[in-house]
Amino acid sequence: MKTLTIETEGVLYKNPRPAYVAMSAMNSYILPISANELLGFYRKGQAYYSVDGAVYTARSTDGGASWVEEGCVWDPQLGHEPFSYGYGAPTLLQSGEILLVTLTFDRTDADAPVFNEVTGGVRGNRTVLQRSSDLGRTWSDPVEMDFSAVQGEVNVPSPIIELDSGRLFLPCEVWKGFDDPTPLHLYGFGLFSDDGGRTWGDRVDYPSATDAATMYSHTRYIKMRDGRIGGLQWTQPVGGQGNENLSWVTADPTGKQWEFPRATNLHGQTSWAVDLGDGVMAAISSMRDGQQPGEYVFLSYDGGITWDVDNGVVVWDAVGQEFLGVEHKPEYPRSHDNIAFGAPTLIQSPDGALFASWWCTQASITHVRFCKLRVG
């Protein structure tokens, strides 16, 4: 039996002047550059879906003990684009180049909701790709990725994966369009690139996309130590009302052969797993049901199917801090309006340490926190 220990914890970004300016931070990701150098990504804006949303970076050169914000990756105002930027999902390639995938929402009408309260559909969006050849200090202009052949709105839920073959794998999910009256049924597929992410094709559809009763979504896909792809999946009935236990899904090292998702004993929503080797996995998950909501880190000893739910480590205690302004969570899609924490990530650094990050709200300030864990 292994143990999880929190070594350090702190704030990646928090509004330093709340009396003068409204500024929230959420949707974070910590990218290890080396054992001591870390690059943090987060979305800043007045609110979760505010029009001024953009992706920022901060850098730590002392293993996360301190962070220095380096600025905005791309200011939407520079191109006078009617889009607000959401999360940024980075990948450090073997070549040293960083690829950053970002989901953006059409904000031509700045007052229009992102989600249709009647249909549950999402407003038109696009995904853009940016590059950095100097470890995130400067970035190329965003280039829109072509999903015109896909019916529905495409979401890229996790970073690009560099396969052992050198091909790049892009995990995608299809969401329903804003005015689509059919029941909510999110499903996934993948695309490949053989030219460093400049073009994408060779689509592969996951077997789970054919499940008419259950949908598997918000999957944070990872490359496992043996080259396979794996991920924990938020599992819900079609329609999106209610939650089942998380599912675990894997593909072979080519990314072409996918298994059907397997049910786990872990209950939660958006989750992120890490392969620690020899069948041991770690995962962070947003737990919203029950009397102890928060962000938890768990261990698995059989490759992600069974989790040690009795010995999870609480990295964020959200009791009394789980909602914004109201005492109960409304149903989807209004639930997006008042959640106060979520979108956790879990990454392993070259020295074996685990870095977890998430966004949360405390004293009315929505910000990004992190912690460094060790597995003993």
Q: DSSP code of 135?
A: T
The answer to whether 49 and 114 are in contact (CB under 8 A) is: yes
Instruction: Give the mean pLDDT of 162-173.
Output: 97
CB 59 within 8 A of CB 37: yes
* Strand, helix or coil for residue 26: strand
pLDDT exceeds 70 at position 221: yes
Query: What pLDDT was estimated at residue 159?
Result: 97
Residue 4, pLDDT score: 94
Task: Report the 10 Å Cβ neighbour count for 52.
Answer: 17
- According to the model, what pLDDT value does residue 307 have? 98
Q: Which whole number is the average pLDDT over 47-72?
A: 94
**113 three-class SS:** coil
- Residue 326 confidence (pLDDT): 62
For the chain, domains (ranges, CATH) are: 4-375 (2.120.10.10)
Nearest to 354 by CA among 298, 278, 270, 292: 298
DSSP codes joined into one string, 204-271 = EE-GGGG-SSEEEES---EE-TTS-EEEEEEEEETTS-S--EEEEEEE-TTS--BPPPEEEEEE-SSE
For residue 331, the model assigns a pLDDT of 65
Task: Say what the pLDDT of residue 28 is.
Answer: 96
> Using one digit for the tens of pLDDT, what is the confidence trace for 238-269?
988 888 999 999 999 999 999 999 999 999 99
Confidence of residue 79 (pLDDT cuts 50, 70, 90): low
- pLDDT at residue 330 above 70? no
Q: Which of 268, 362, 350, 364 is nearest to 30 (CA)?
A: 350
Q: What is the mean pLDDT of residues 216-225?
A: 96
Structure confidence by residue, pLDDT tens digits, 16-58:
999 999 999 999 999 999 989 999 999 999 988 888 899 999 9
pLDDT the model gives residue 328: 61
More confident residue, 367 or 331: 367
Q: What is the mean pLDDT of the chain?
A: 92
pLDDT by residue (tens digit) across 261-316? 999 999 999 999 999 999 999 999 998 877 788 999 999 999 999 999 999 999 99
What secondary structure letter does DSSP report for 334?
G
* pLDDT the model gives residue 114: 87
Backbone angles phi, psi at 336, to 5 degrees: -65, -20
pLDDT band of 103, cuts 50, 70, 90: very high
Helix (H, G, I), strand (E, B) or coil at 203: strand
Q: Quick check: 149 pLDDT over 70? A: yes
pLDDT at residue 78 is higher than 90: no
Q: If 0-12 CB within 10 Å is exposed, 13-18 middle and 19+ buried, where does residue 78 land?
A: exposed
Tokens of 100: 């950053």
Query: What is the per-residue pLDDT for 303?
Result: 96
Distant-in-sequence, close-in-space partners of 307: CB < 8 Å, separation ≥ 6: 264, 265, 266, 283, 298, 299, 300
Q: Look at residue 343 in the predicted model and tell me its pLDDT.
A: 92
